[in-house]
Chains A and B, each alone.
Chain A
Amino acid sequence: MNEQDEALKQLLQRAAPGPTDRELKRDLWPEMRQRLDRPPVQIPWGDWALAATLLLCLLLFPETIPAVLYLL
């Protein structure tokens, strides 16, 4: 690192110092445990049916793809 780079580094360290406190203040395990116990997101069957219908329409009428993309 040359002198100019060193000067820039020092300016950065003085103007934008890192966080003063880097210690974790509490145990995060209870939150982690909650996250693990949360039931996985289930997609309702109606949404699957809708997605399948849309896919079928796109396969049968591919000329509508640009219009659908435009609307998205």
Chain B
Amino acid sequence: MTGIVEAELERFTRGDIQAFEALFREYQGEVYGWIIRIVHDSGAAEDLTIETFWRIYRARARFDPCRSFGAWARRIATNLALEHLSRRRLERSLDNGFPIRAPGTGTPDPAIAADVCTKVLAAFDELPAKLRVTARLAMIEERPYAEIADALGISTNGVKSRVFRATRLLRKSLEKRGVRP
């Protein structure tokens, strides 16, 4: 997966900017791809990718070169994406509280009525950020539970529990809106 060798990671932890550049170039696409899955907004994903690497660079001394750089980067990226979603939700609630489809998001299936789509999006948007991200990665993106657990810094059982809670809340919320999946 990666051409980065341990010696390069070692140099990065000592603050070598060239080693950091090599890491950045190797992983920027992967980190961006992970963030856009969560935030669904290409502009925000680019900003958050840079912020992720900025935090990685500042925390370089704490990184153990024997561990996976990609997993570490994903965890930092996930935390930032979660913060971004919480901030966006707050801004939206100060605005008018209605869910907005982020630019670059896929088009819904035309077989589903527009009002059902709106209700599903609204119900999904009501979930707490942590449940929403877990549900998005597990149910929409169908990422493996182990990968999600690693990125969120929780156990696989923790992921299962969050998916279960998200499912239960979503079903309740959709039933209230007259949608029965």
Chain A residue with minimal CB distance to B111? A14
Q: What is the CA–CA distance of A31 and B48 in the complex, to the nearest angstrom? A: 12
Report A16-41 residues with CB < 8 Å from chain B CB: 16-25, 27-29, 31-33, 35-36
A12 interface neighbour in B17, B33, B36, B140, Cβ under 8 Å: B140
What total of chain A residues lie within 8 Å of the partner, measured CB to CB?
Answer: 29
Report the minimal beta-carbon distance from B61 to chain A, rounded to whole angstroms.
Answer: 16
Docked-complex contact A24 and B33, CB < 8 angstroms: yes
Q: What is the CA–CA distance of A23 and B53 in the complex, to the nearest angstrom? A: 18
For residue B29, which residues in chain A have a CB less than 8 angstroms away from its CB?
A: 23-24
Task: Answer whether residue B4 sits at the interface, using C-beta atoms and an 8 A cutoff.
Answer: no
Docked-complex contact B140 and A18, CB < 8 angstroms: yes
Q: Determine the interface band of chain B, counting residues with CB < 8 A from chain A.
A: 35 or more
Docked-complex contact A35 and B54, CB < 8 angstroms: yes
Docked-complex contact B167 and A8, CB < 8 angstroms: yes
Q: What is the CA–CA distance of A9 and B120 in the complex, to the nearest angstrom? A: 11
Task: Answer whether residue B28 sits at the interface, using C-beta atoms and an 8 A cutoff.
Answer: yes
Q: What is the CA–CA distance of A15 and B116 in the complex, to the nearest angstrom? A: 8
For residue A32, which residues in chain B have a CB less than 8 angstroms away from its CB?
A: 24, 50, 53-54
Docked-complex contact A18 and B105, CB < 8 angstroms: yes
Docked-complex contact B117 and A15, CB < 8 angstroms: yes
Name A residues whose Cβ lies closer than 8 Å to a Cβ of B. Answer: 4-5, 7-25, 27-29, 31-33, 35-36
Report the 4 A-B pairs with minimum CB-CB distance, sorted nearest first. Answer: A17-B106, A14-B109, A15-B120, A24-B32
Apart from A14-B108, A19-B36, A24-B33, list 19 A-B contacts with CB within 8 A. Answer: A8-B167, A12-B120, A12-B140, A13-B139, A13-B140, A15-B120, A16-B120, A16-B124, A17-B109, A18-B37, A20-B106, A20-B107, A23-B33, A24-B28, A27-B25, A28-B49, A32-B50, A35-B54, A36-B57
Can you spell out 14 A-B residue pairs with CB atoms less than 8 angstroms apart? A9-B139, A10-B181, A12-B140, A14-B108, A15-B109, A16-B108, A19-B105, A20-B104, A20-B105, A23-B29, A24-B29, A24-B46, A32-B54, A35-B50
Name B residues whose Cβ lies closer than 8 Å to a Cβ of A. Answer: 17, 21, 24-25, 28-29, 32-33, 36-37, 40, 42, 46, 49-50, 53-54, 57, 102, 104-109, 111-112, 116-117, 120-121, 124, 135-136, 139-141, 167, 170-171, 174, 179, 181
